[in-house]
């Protein structure tokens, strides 16, 4: 059983639009385990590191400005195949191309206001979890429902 951690963030538009509870609910209901969470305004510098791979894109300055413009909910969710499953739950980068039933397919319309971030690979997840959280901020706990979420 491949247990993974994914970095998930409700972006400033998701917070402003009151979607924090809805987004958390989807990950809880899916069967993932919350192991870290904080409500904060990320600095320009933090978002430049977070989105470093996109620094040459024309939309990068606007992305950094908007991302650091207000509070976000940064989280780490753990579970079997958490990275790939979370991406499937989130949908495509462009909400218009995202299937109904996915978070972006259901809750937003425009690529620049797509309400949520989810790590796109195990390698990015590891980098993002350590960029946003210290080891001490990640809580190790046994969920009482674990044996009802997966075998083994």
In whole angstroms, how close is the CB of 109 to ligand UDP at the nearest point?
Answer: 12
Nearer to ligand UDP among residue 5 and residue 117 (C-beta)? 117
Known binding residue 87? Answer is: yes
Catalytic residue among 29, 110, 117, 150: 117
Rounded distance between C-alpha atoms, residue 31 and residue 38, angstroms: 20
Known binding residue 133? Answer is: no
Nearer to ligand UDP among residue 113 and residue 143 (C-beta)? 113
Helices and strands in the chain: count of H runs, count of E runs: 8, 4
In whole angstroms, how close is the CB of 4 to ligand UDP at the nearest point?
Answer: 16
Residues that bind ligand UDP (CB under 6 A): 54, 59, 63, 93, 111-112, 114, 117, 120
Active site residue 3: no
Q: For tokens 């462009």, name the residue.
A: 94
Nearest residue to the partner ligand UDP, using Cβ? 93
Known binding residue 17? Answer is: no
Chain mean position to CA 73: 9
In whole angstroms, how close is the CB of 137 to ligand UDP at the nearest point?
Answer: 23
Question: Alpha helices, DSSP H only, in the chain?
Answer: 12-16, 20-30, 44-50, 60-67, 82-90, 103-107, 122-132, 146-149
Angle CA(31)–CA(135)–CA(5) in degrees, nearest 5? 30
Question: Alpha helices, DSSP H only, in 91-135?
Answer: 103-107, 122-132
In whole angstroms, how close is the CB of 140 to ligand UDP at the nearest point?
Answer: 27
Active site residue ranges: 117
Task: Tell me the binding residues for ATP.
Answer: 11, 59, 87, 93, 104, 114
């Amino acid at each position: 059983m491949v247990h993974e951690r994914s970095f998930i963030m409700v972006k400033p538009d998701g917070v402003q639009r009151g979607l924090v509870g809805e987004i958390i609910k989807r990950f809880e209901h899916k069967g993932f385990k919350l192991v870290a969470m904080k409500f904060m305004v990320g600095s320009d510098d933090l978002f430049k590191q977070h989105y470093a791979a996109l620094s040459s894109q024309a939309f990068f300055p606007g992305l950094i400005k908007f991302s650091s413009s207000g509070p976000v909910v940064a989280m780490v969710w753990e579970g079997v195949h958490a990275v790939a499953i979370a991406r499937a739950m989130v949908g495509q980068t462009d909400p218009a191309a995202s299937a109904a039933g996915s978070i972006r397919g259901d809750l937003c319309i425009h690529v620049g206001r797509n309400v949520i971030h989810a790590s796109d690979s195990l390698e990015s997840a590891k980098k993002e979890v350590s960029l946003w959280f210290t080891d001490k901020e990640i809580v190790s706990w046994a969920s009482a429902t674990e044996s009802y979420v997966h075998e083994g």
